[in-house]
């Protein structure tokens, strides 16, 4: 049975230009009679089914690739969830440590105040008025303070008098 170019395209569900390319490339045989191509139906179906089978193979390869990509994404998501859980746990541990340190600081501050009240002379009403003791080496004399606060002459004075 002989089919025209349009009939062949409709038969295999392809575009007319696709069938024409198959004829020009020699993939299917056709006769050119009175300005029209006549294509043998058996030859057309043989090649179209082989092409369809190749497309199915390519589609199945694409499907396998998509499944592999999805699986790798699932693994990555699971890994990120585990990392997130670890980070949440670490954050909670740090909060617990911070709270514990605050409590210790508060209790040591309270203890310091109690000790200070115990050893403060009776004539001082406010314990915060007592200055902490310092080493005698760090105390400055009046002349040292004057020397530090004394202003040096500027650059123009030193250069031009």
Q: Is the pLDDT of residue 94 over 90?
A: yes
Counting residues of the chain whose pLDDT is more than 90, the rounded percentage is 23
> Minimal CA–CA distance to 40: which of 88, 5, 79, 77?
5
- Give 12 or 80, the one with higher predicted confidence: 80
Q: Which CATH architecture has domain 2-120?
A: Orthogonal Bundle (1.10)
User: What pLDDT digit, counting tens, does each position of 116-158 carry?
Assistant: 888 876 655 555 555 555 444 455 555 555 555 667 778 888 8
Q: Can you read off the two tokens belonging to residue 77?
A: 């998501």
Beta bridge partners of 15: none
Is 9 within 8 Å of 19 (Cβ atoms)?
A: yes
User: What pLDDT digit, counting tens, does each position of 27-53 carry?
Assistant: 888 888 888 888 888 888 787 777 766
| Mean pLDDT on 76-90 | 94
Q: Can you read off the two tokens belonging to residue 24?
A: 């020009």
pTM equals 0.35
Indicate the domain borders of the chain: 2-120
Band the pLDDT of 11: cuts 50, 70, 90: confident
> Minimal CA–CA distance to 22: which of 34, 35, 33, 3?
3
Q: Can you read off the two tokens belonging to residue 96?
A: 């617990």
> Minimal CA–CA distance to 11: which of 34, 43, 37, 44?
44
Question: CA-to-CA distance for 20 and 29, rounded, in angstroms?
Answer: 11
Q: What's residue 56's pLDDT?
A: 60
User: What pLDDT digit, counting tens, does each position of 108-117 carry?
Assistant: 999 998 888 8
Question: CA-to-CA distance for 3 and 48, rounded, in angstroms?
Answer: 14
């Amino acid at each position: 049975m002989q089919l025209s170019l349009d009939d062949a395209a409709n038969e295999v569900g392809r575009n007319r230009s696709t069938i024409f390319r198959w004829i020009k490339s020699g993939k299917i045989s056709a006769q050119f009679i009175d300005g029209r191509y006549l294509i043998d139906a058996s030859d057309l179906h043989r090649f179209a089914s082989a092409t369809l089978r190749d497309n199915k193979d390519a589609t199945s390869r694409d499907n396998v690739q998509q499944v592999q990509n999805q699986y790798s994404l699932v693994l990555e998501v699971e890994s990120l969830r585990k990392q997130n859980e670890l980070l949440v746990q670490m954050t909670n541990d740090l909060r617990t440590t911070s709270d514990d340190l605050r409590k210790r600081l508060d209790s040591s501050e309270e203890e310091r105040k109690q000790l200070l009240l115990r050893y403060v002379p009776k004539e001082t009403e406010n314990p915060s008025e007592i200055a902490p003791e310092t080493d005698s080496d760090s105390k400055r004399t009046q002349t040292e303070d004057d020397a530090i606060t004394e202003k040096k002459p500027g650059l123009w004075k030193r250069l031009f008098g």
